[in-house]
Structure 1
Amino acid sequence: MTTVSAATWLDVPADHPFGIATLPYGVFGTASDPDPRVGVAISDLILDLAPAVRVLAPELAPAVAGPSLDTLLAAGPRAWSRVRALVTTWLTDAGYSDRLAPHLVPARDAVMHLPFTVADYVDFYASEQHATNLGRMFRPGQDPLTPNWKHLPIGYHGRAGTVVGSGTDVVRPSGQRRGADGEITFGPSARLDIEAELGFVVGTPSRLGAPVDLARFDEHVFGACLVNDWSARDIQAWEYVPLGPFLGKSFATSVSPWIVPLAALEPARVPPPARTVPLLPYLDDAATPPWGLDVRLEVRLNGHVVSRPRFEGMYWTPAQMLAHLTANGASLRTGDLYASGTISGERPDQRGSLIELSWGGAEPLRLPDGTTRTFLEDGDEVVISASAPGADGAVIGFGEVRGRILPAHQAPR
């Protein structure tokens, strides 16, 4: 029998991913009140934050007024810490139960929204295993990693306007492709893929021209979420030389509705893998507290588990990604989102993309229902979930990010 956490006056199972140790932030509405507003998840409930704060901490009301997390993100670390501490107190002190009860909404009644306005979107390529697997496929007989890979976090600047909330259907993209015979055609992608990733949400902006060093990572990043960076591999393969991903990536990137604050992830911090080449000073984290994270993902395709990637094996940490992103003086804006790139491990069942799971289509993936996949088919649904260890055996949950593939639109004439 699952025990109930004594830390909160609510009936919350001790191993619930949205227990008192998590308290993630999202934006929701209901049928009776559809206006988007900020909420904090606790078990199977959502605390409607704005009315609770107006009554119990009115000085913080502007930061959580909604209709998105934007204002809270911009309020900075002191406000983040204050709000989290207050919500924790309210949910652990039974003296607040009568005042909070009217503001607790069953999660089943909520409609979740994209939680923040995405200012910019950058996607990295931080998994050595993923980069090695793709290098072996595309450059057989050569070093699978490019010469720069272990010297800097490689990334590309994506399209913020096509970052969508979990549950948004994804229309199969069309684009130019080059066939094995060299013929160039335009049409729906035949190699539509997923990328299981962790994303990081920027709250505090930075000044143009001023890099953000490793030690200031948690002054700027509010929290983490799940990302599925959908990828059209055939379109990408034809277009990416010499400037990198474009239409093969920009059609949709899905994010989870809940943002887990960095404070909740403190117990999950782990050292990154041993580095095999010296790093330049701005990326050298040997003397700073580590920002590797023990986050465990699960990828389901049509309800079947196909992969269990683990973030702890990522070569580059989110702090290093942020330091490199701003190393040239590029400024941060509230709502910037950057993602890790595909999370893949050493074992075949830890690969975070179909191109790896099917080895470029050469080894079809067999599902438990007897069907096979190399890449996504119309009607397929992908669900990515994740959790991390918390203090005293708690589970830190990320919720899930899901998306279903719809047929391509008719090609333009």
Structure 2
Amino acid sequence: MKFAIKNLLRQKKISLLFGITIMIMAVICYIFLALLYDPYFALDVSYYSKMMMGSATTLFVVMFTGCLIIYTNIYVLENKNQEISLMKICGMTNKRFIFYLFYQNTCLYFIGSLVGILLGILITPSMINYLYVLININTDVYILKDTLFQTILMMSCLYVISLILNIGYVYRGNIIKMLNGTKQNKYRKATFITLSSRIYIIIYLCGLLLTIFNEHQTTAYIIFSVIGTIGTYGIIRYVIPEFIEKKKSTKWLNQVDQLIVYGEIFLKLKYTVLFIQIFMIVSIIMVTLVCFNLDNSIEMYRMIIAYIIMLPMIMFCMTYKNLMMNHQKKKSLQLIHKMGMTKIHQLTLLKKEWLLFYMMVSLLPGLYIIVIFIKFYILSHMSFTIIAVIMGYFICNVLISMLICYYSTKQYLKEALL
């Protein structure tokens, strides 16, 4: 046990990432369960319909954050490949290594959940009190004991899932692949029909046009936003990488600057595609649901809170993934400099690289969000303040992530050229 905890403290970055994710999950669970069980949020509509809507929102948010924790857990395990393989070579059995991971996970889940629940207890009353003011409810905040119990229950379920993942990963691990630092095999089902990637551009544009020319039937916006998310998924996953690959082998073959910039963008899209897809889905769907619940102020504010919490979580994971990639770029930065490229020119390319990457990430969902907001502002007289807050929050998250990544890469460039 001491050995496991000692190694956990040595792996500060990975432990911190997983611990923060667990803590945020605990905070989110507590906040949304408190909102779900609050009896005063059922005053403006029938109790059962309100509970159903609240349950759906809570379930969606908790499922999303739960999936994010599971992915983070897998990511942490993949970073332990060499550690697992070396310990196996030194004679540690699978059973002993499972207990090794058990002690580490127990420590992280206990501390992360405890801190998260305490933060939830501190934050939730003031948040609910603010919502009471917005919906004109004059009463003291009272949080049911079930909130704490249900939060602990949910975190315990995730803890058990995490242990099962650890057992499966250890038993199916290939020592040679782990030593080489490669990931475990990912199995993908073969499909009978292979469609052109251009179909995703058509799907994206169809969803956008249907949103523009919709006769303002609020339920239709949800359907069109789902169509849009399918289109954005395909464009990021297939269309842009294929376009870059094609240009790299033809038009950009003799253009060093273009090869460097778009080569790096290609790698970023490849390794952060999951977070980009989640970011786009959450951005479009959550904004659509906020607009859909304009007549239900409680549910609308619940959706806004979900959006405010979930967006920085995704951007944090995407930024962290980019920073991990930056850490491996030192050698390539040194080689480019040795080829005769000046430091100033390299910095110019870095600016272009990050700007283009985040433009791709933000513009695709951004177009949908702008169109939806314009229509609801004109036809449903949606509050301009709410629109400005949501759009500003979206832009701020993208800008902060971009600046962190750029200045981090700039620092790595300085270190590489010392």
Between 1 and 2, higher relative CO (CA 8 Å, sep ≥ 6) is seen in 1
TM-score (norm 1): 0.22
Report the structure, 1 or 2, having the larger helix content: 2
Report the structure, 1 or 2, having the larger strand content: 1
Structure label with greater radius of gyration? 2
TM-score (norm 2): 0.22
